[in-house]
Amino acid sequence: MLPEFKNFCLADFSISENRKKMEDAIKQVEEELGKEYPIIIGGEKIETEKKIESINPSVKKEVVGRVSRANRELAERAIKTAYEKFQEWRFTSPDERARYLLKAAEIMRQEVFYLSALMVVEEGKNWIEAYADTAEAIDFLEFYAREMMRYGKEQPVVPYPGEENSLFYIPLGVVAVIPPWNFPCAILVGMTSAAIVTGNTVVLKPASSSPVIGYKFAEIMERVGLPDGVLNFLPGSGAEVGDTIVGHPLTRMVAFTGSRDVGLHINELAAKTQPGQRWIKRVIAEMGGKDTIIVDETADLDSAVNGIVASAYGFQGQKCSACSRLIIVKDVYDELLDRIIERVKEIKVGDVRDYDNYMGPVINEQAFNKIKEYIEIGKGEGRLMTGGGCDDSVGYFIEPTIIGDVDPMARISQEEIFGPVLAVIKAKDFDEALEIANNTEYGLTGGVYSTNRANLERARREFFVGNLYFNRKITGALVGVQPFGGFNMSGTDSKAGGSDYLLLFMQAKSVAERF
Ligand code: NAP
Ligand code: MG
């Protein structure tokens, strides 16, 4: 009997002992800068001439790791290896599979500072955000292990006279796992461990901006004794390797999290039946967001300021759940906006190895240029209230930015920016605010600050998002507590970290025997 699932506690960095542990871990990561990391297929470590250079976005000349870069041929080999291994792995017991996850969670708890420090350097996540990323990965492992033990038990069916009827869950096959860079530990570990624990084998293609932390997880799974070939680690470019593993006839399922455009492309490619393919591929695609917080005239403004700033600027706004639109009803518009601006001006931006910097850099040059362009667009579509500065001389730094008086149909109100830019919109009342909140093609997270029960109840019914929050920030969904996934162009609403999630990786078989 296992203890009940509980979310892993975050570290309190006001305690000097914890700060010291993180400083030491950052030093350890710095000593390993520039190391080379291989591809892993069927347990074999493969090095290629071509490498992906993973950089530190705070100091872009620092190379965190040089990771071997797979091509189409290696991608084919990885899928075939996973397919062969599946023929054996599929029959392992659910409990056995769950125990690999439980052991991996234990290792990650022991090495939580090191893994988090690696994300401080590879990702530009501040300490708390990086620690939360590792903590979420640990939660996924613990949660899915228990979930699989539950699904592995006899499932209820209606008794029928003279027969023994049973229903049980079996795996699908080879799963191509394609995570984004922004939760390079949590989402990568969540999707991968869900696929493995349900009895599938995996080809994992990490995002090209964060392959080193992905490698560390693959290594942990080796350390816990996961048989070779169950998890194949295949860094490479999305277009080349991604398309090969998604399109391959032996691939049974794709688990993707990332942008809308790539998600739609994957969905289309996976839908096309290839010669020799014997199934309809299953796709889960969790995609982008244009997440909105509404504040009405009855709201507690102190609490709204805290929640809005944390939601908009935590990890530089690079969360699918980040608040990128703020809709304020007219009576409190000026007051709230002034208070947010005042708070945002206090945010310290810089190299996140320094604990005092709340905001770090954005992930890479491409993101930097895109966000900079949106700020320019925003200046034309609204009023620049604060921020707007961009500096890529050392790292990819962008000031926390607010654009006020934005039209609900403006581009910066409709398109995902994925950076520290907040568009603020004035609404005449709550009705109009809700209408604006629902006016994008996305539907991931949303929030309402209000003390008006009728408004909250309306939002509960009509605010069309997968994860809705009242009187708190709209980021930081907890495994098991707030299963996560969005509507419309935000994805297939797979609800990661929820009790339905593992079903997506399995199929049910009914067996009837008459005696
Ligand atoms: P992305 O550019 O779509 O990339 C995601 C993954 O897809 C990466 O591993 C990428 O590889 C790969 N990829 C790119 N092209 C591909 C192709 N043709 N075939 C197969 N794979 C391909 O997204 P991102 O920039 O990493 O992440 C940010 C996005 O993710 C945002 O839109 C954010 O909202 C979304 N997101 C959503 C959720 C959610 O739960 N809904 C959670 C987190 C993030 P390369 O890195 O090699 O290009
Ligand atoms: Mg990308």
Residue 241 C-alpha to ligand 1 middle, in angstroms? 13
Residue reference for tokens 């998600």: 263
The rounded distance, in Å, linking the Cα atoms of 254 and 272 is 13
Looking at residue 435, its pLDDT comes to 98
Our CA angle for 137, 143, 147, nearest 5°, is: 140
Looking at residue 285, its pLDDT comes to 98
Looking at residue 34, its pLDDT comes to 98
Which ligand sits nearest to residue 208's alpha carbon? 1
Burial of 293 (0-12, 13-18, 19+ CB in 10 A): buried
Among 345, 284, 334, residue whose Cα is nearest residue 309: 345
User: 384: which residues sit within 8 A by CB, 6+ positions away?
Assistant: 375, 378, 401, 402, 403
Q: DSSP H helical segments within 162-294, as ranges?
A: 186-197, 211-223, 243-247, 260-271
Residue 262 C-alpha to ligand 1 middle, in angstroms? 6
Contact 287 CB / ligand 1 (< 6 Å): yes
- Any idea which residues carry the catalytic annotation? 286, 320
Q: What is the pLDDT of residues 277-286, one digit of tens each?
A: 999 999 999 9
Phi, psi values for residue 318, rounded to 5°: -95, 50
Q: What is the pLDDT of residues 238-262, one digit of tens each?
A: 999 999 999 999 999 999 999 999 9
β-sheet bridge partners, residue 513: 164
Q: Is there a contact between 376 and 398 (Cβ–Cβ < 8 Å)? A: no
Contact 486 CB / ligand 1 (< 6 Å): yes
Neighbouring C-alpha atoms within 13 Å toward the C-beta of 283: 22
Looking at residue 402, its pLDDT comes to 98
Q: Which two tokens stand for residue 477?
A: 């969904």
Q: What is the pLDDT of residues 394-444, one digit of tens each?
A: 999 999 999 999 999 999 999 999 999 999 999 999 999 999 999 999 999
The single-letter code of the amino acid at 17 is: E
Contact 124 CB / ligand 1 (< 6 Å): no
Contact 361 CB / ligand 1 (< 6 Å): no
Q: What is the pLDDT of residues 348-371, one digit of tens each?
A: 999 999 999 999 999 999 999 999
User: 19: which residues sit within 8 A by CB, 6+ positions away?
Assistant: 13, 355
The band of 39, judged by pLDDT with boundaries at 50, 70 and 90, is: very high
Residue ID of nearest Cα to ligand 1 atom 20: 242
Contact 177 CB / ligand 1 (< 6 Å): no
Mean pLDDT of 123-148: 98
Q: What is the mean pLDDT of the chain?
A: 98
Which ligand sits nearest to residue 497's alpha carbon? 1
Which ligand sits nearest to residue 262's alpha carbon? 1
Residue 97 C-alpha to ligand 1 middle, in angstroms? 28
Residue 318 C-alpha to ligand 1 middle, in angstroms? 12
Residue ID of nearest Cα to ligand 1 atom 43: 320
Looking at residue 245, its pLDDT comes to 98
The rounded distance, in Å, linking the Cα atoms of 325 and 322 is 9
Residue 113 C-alpha to ligand 1 middle, in angstroms? 26
The rounded distance, in Å, linking the Cα atoms of 76 and 42 is 12
Contact 11 CB / ligand 1 (< 6 Å): no
Strands 163-171 and 506-514: antiparallel
Q: Which atom of ligand 1 is nearest to the CA of 209?
A: 46
Looking at residue 281, its pLDDT comes to 98
Contact 238 CB / ligand 1 (< 6 Å): yes
Contact 113 CB / ligand 1 (< 6 Å): no
Neighbours of 272 (CB within 10 A): 10
Looking at residue 157, its pLDDT comes to 98
Mean pLDDT of 12-29: 98
Contact 262 CB / ligand 1 (< 6 Å): yes
Q: Which atom of ligand 1 is nearest to the CA of 243?
A: 19
Residue reference for tokens 């023994």: 164
Which ligand sits nearest to residue 187's alpha carbon? 1
Neighbours of 114 (CB within 10 A): 19
Q: What is the pLDDT of residues 158-189, one digit of tens each?
A: 999 999 999 999 999 999 999 999 999 999 99
Looking at residue 147, its pLDDT comes to 98
- Read off the DSSP letter of residue 346: T
Percent of the chain with pLDDT over 90: 100
Residue 179 C-alpha to ligand 1 middle, in angstroms? 6
Of 244, 257, 290, best ligand 1 pocket probe by most atoms within 8 Å of the beta carbon: 257
Which ligand sits nearest to residue 365's alpha carbon? 2
The band of 103, judged by pLDDT with boundaries at 50, 70 and 90, is: very high
The band of 106, judged by pLDDT with boundaries at 50, 70 and 90, is: very high
Q: Which domains does the chain have, with CATH numbers?
A: 25-155+166-287+493-514 (3.40.605.10), 291-478 (3.40.309.10)
The rounded distance, in Å, linking the Cα atoms of 26 and 424 is 37
Q: Is the dihedral of CA 168, 173, 179, 184 positive or negative?
A: positive
Q: What is the pLDDT of residues 288-326, one digit of tens each?
A: 999 999 999 999 999 999 999 999 999 999 999 999 999
Residue ID of nearest Cα to ligand 1 atom 48: 238
Contact 54 CB / ligand 1 (< 6 Å): no
Mean pLDDT of 47-70: 98
The band of 11, judged by pLDDT with boundaries at 50, 70 and 90, is: very high
The rounded distance, in Å, linking the Cα atoms of 138 and 497 is 11
Looking at residue 67, its pLDDT comes to 98
Q: Is the dihedral of CA 147, 148, 153, 154 positive or negative?
A: positive
Looking at residue 447, its pLDDT comes to 98
Of 39, 71, 123, 182, best ligand 1 pocket probe by most atoms within 8 Å of the beta carbon: 182
Contact 288 CB / ligand 1 (< 6 Å): yes
The rounded distance, in Å, linking the Cα atoms of 202 and 448 is 39
Contact 65 CB / ligand 1 (< 6 Å): no
Mean pLDDT of 216-236: 98
Residue 501 C-alpha to ligand 1 middle, in angstroms? 20
Q: Is there a contact between 328 and 426 (Cβ–Cβ < 8 Å)? A: yes
Residue ID of nearest Cα to ligand 1 atom 14: 238
Strands 35-37 and 390-391: unpaired
Q: Which atom of ligand 1 is nearest to the CA of 261?
A: 3
Phi-psi region of 232 (alpha: psi -120 to 50; beta: other; left: phi over 0): beta
Mean pLDDT of 97-125: 98
Our CA angle for 256, 204, 214, nearest 5°, is: 100
